[in-house]
Structure 1
Amino acid sequence: MPSDRSGWRSTAEYDYVEDLSASDLAWEWLRRNKRYSKEYATLSKAATDSAALKAALLDKWRLRFRS
């Protein structure tokens, strides 16, 4: 790791990550993915209902949703 850490954010801002479940952690990083955000917006506009949107996300991103 570089010795100059002046450009890094405070690690205290990410302390909550230690308490996340596996699915919460996956969501935390997926929601920051710019490609996912763009494709979600496109898919959600094209989907006729929530089932169609879930099917599109499953096909494209292999996401599964709790019932």
Structure 2
Amino acid sequence: MLPDASRWRSAANYEHVDTLSASDLAWEWLRRNEGYDRDYEALSDPGADREQLTEKIRQHWGLRFRRRSSPRPA
């Protein structure tokens, strides 16, 4: 379902943007990008080559995903 875009010109709908950090602002706009959305959804495909898709997203969108921490050797 598409979001309601009928009031997109309303300044009140974007007042929160003034308080966002740079990374929060980048995420706010990136999450609305259909191309990024398609690339991200491709990661959830069970048959997907996650390493290749992660590299594609890293190169195309300039993102880096944190790796899960591994347990330290005793």
TM-score (norm. length: structure 1): 0.64
Give the match for residue 31 of structure 2.
31
Number of residue pairs matched? 58
- Share of identical aligned residues, percent? 53
Unaligned runs of 5+ in 1: 1-6
Higher share of residues assigned helix: 1
SS of 2:63's equivalent in the other structure is coil
Query: Counterparts of 1:1-67 in structure 2 under 5 Å?
Result: 9-45=9-45, 46-47=48-49, 52=51, 54-65=54-65
RMSD over aligned Cα, in angstroms?
2.4
Deviations 1:34-61 (A, max 9, x none): 111011111332255xxx4654532332
8 Å CA contact 1:43, 1:56 repeated in 2: no
Structure 1 residue runs of 4 or more that deviate by more than 3 Å after TM superposition: 52-56
TM-score by length of 2: 0.59
Rate the CA distance shift 1:26–1:8 in 2: closer, same or farther, 3 A.
closer
